[in-house]
Each structure stands twice: as structure tokens, then as C-alpha cells.
Amino acid sequence: MPDETTICKFRHLLETHQLGQQLFARIGEYLATQGLQVSRGTIVDATIIRVPSSTKNRTKEQDLEMHQTKKGNQRYFGMKAHMGVDSRTKLIHSVMAAAAHVHDSQVLPQLLHGQEPQVGGDAAYSGQCDVIRQHAPRAKSFIQTKAHRHQPLSEEDRAKNRTKSKVLAKVDHAFLLIKRIFSWAKVRYRGLAKNTHWLQISCGLGNLYVARRQLLAGV
């Protein structure tokens, strides 16, 4: 087994040449040649990845590129992993990391490949129909309806949201894979650049894990 210094040098070499994005793209191309291309609608969502206390610097300060956000009644400090997942294969075709305080809808254009017939997401993406039309002209919106303070959801809207939730739950499988199988429940490095790089590699490996049965059946 290589020692820790050798592994760190190899990791820094990958980061220097920004090979994470290239590896993620190459894995996607390989899966497409095996008949696992991204061809259906896109489901978009984001998950919070917290910063452990061990990432403080010598002056006991937290990572300045990470920020705080509130979800429900609880506050989190860290970053968000934004993903676009194919609704049929559950493969991740786009991934982006941002500070936790960046709203999900702000990175929506980067999560679309442009050929979607349908775009789905939770209520955090409501009001983004113009953005979807601009970046995916053929796509129909499958975004959940959002309630407002003085405008609660009707029973019909609630029923539609429940129906949409059954489809949108597929993106949670990608989050479970990244956080449990590849141990991305907490941020590993300081700064968004390093974490983005290794998140891209993890998503590429995650796609191979999702497609493992089809690939082995082909062999």
C-alpha cells in the first residue's frame, strides 16, 4: 500500500490539473456507450454537507468559504451539493458545490443539460419556469407548488405535490449513495475548490456503483 505522503501528492496532482470534472464526464461517456445514457427528465435538488469542527485553522476560525443556513428549525454550517439526476437511470449527470447559504434556485441553470423533456424539483425551485424555458426549451416543469404565508395550498395542489414527491424521491438515492457509501456526510477539506473536485469524482464513482449490475450483466 502507498504511504500517506504518496496518496496526498497524488490527490494534489489531480486537484492541480482539475481532473475531477474530466473523470466525471468520462465516466458518463463510458456509461452512455453501455446503453446507460441520460435521456429522460432531470430531477434537481441539493443536500447540506456540514463542516466538522476539526477543519478550524490555527486561529480557531472556521472555513471562510463555508456559510450558515437554516433548514426547518435547525442551523447548519457548511456547503451544499447541488445535483441533477436522470429520472430513469438515477445517474447523476451534473454536480456543483456552493456555500450553504446559496439558494437552490440560483444554480438551477448549471444542473440542466438542455435536452430534458421534463424538469422536476421541490418547492425551492418554484417560480423558475422562465429559467427552465431558457436553458431547457423542450422541458415541461414538474416543480412542486409552494405555499405562501397568506396563500395556503389547496387540496388539489397538495395531491399534485404528493404525486410529484414519488418521482422526486429518486434524487434522494443519489444523496444517500454519496453520504453513506462514499462517506460525504461531512466536508473533508478546506475550501470549495477541493471539495468540489472530490465531490465530482465521488459522483462519477457513484454512477458506476448505480450501474454495476447492468455493467456486470454485460460482461
- Please list the rounded mean pLDDT of every run of 10 residues in the chain (219 residues): 88 89 94 85 93 66 83 88 93 94 93 92 90 92 86 88 89 91 86 91 94 85
**What's the CA gap between 46 and 68, in Å, rounded?**
15
**Can you tell me whether residue 38 is helix, strand or coil?**
coil
Specify the pLDDT at position 62. Answer: 75
What contacts 24+ positions apart, CB below 8 Å, involve 15-22? Answer: 15/193, 15/194, 15/197, 18/197, 19/197, 20/196, 20/197, 20/198, 20/199, 20/200, 20/201, 21/197, 21/200
- What is the pTM assigned to this prediction? 0.88
**What's the CA gap between 134 and 82, in Å, rounded?**
19
- Do 190 and 55 contact (CB within 8 A), yes or no? yes
Distance of CA 2 to the CA centre of its chain: 31
- Burial of 23 by CB count in 10 Å (0-12 exposed, 13-18 middle, 19+ buried)? middle
Nearest by Cα to 81 from 204, 169, 187 = 187
**What's the CA gap between 38 and 86, in Å, rounded?**
6
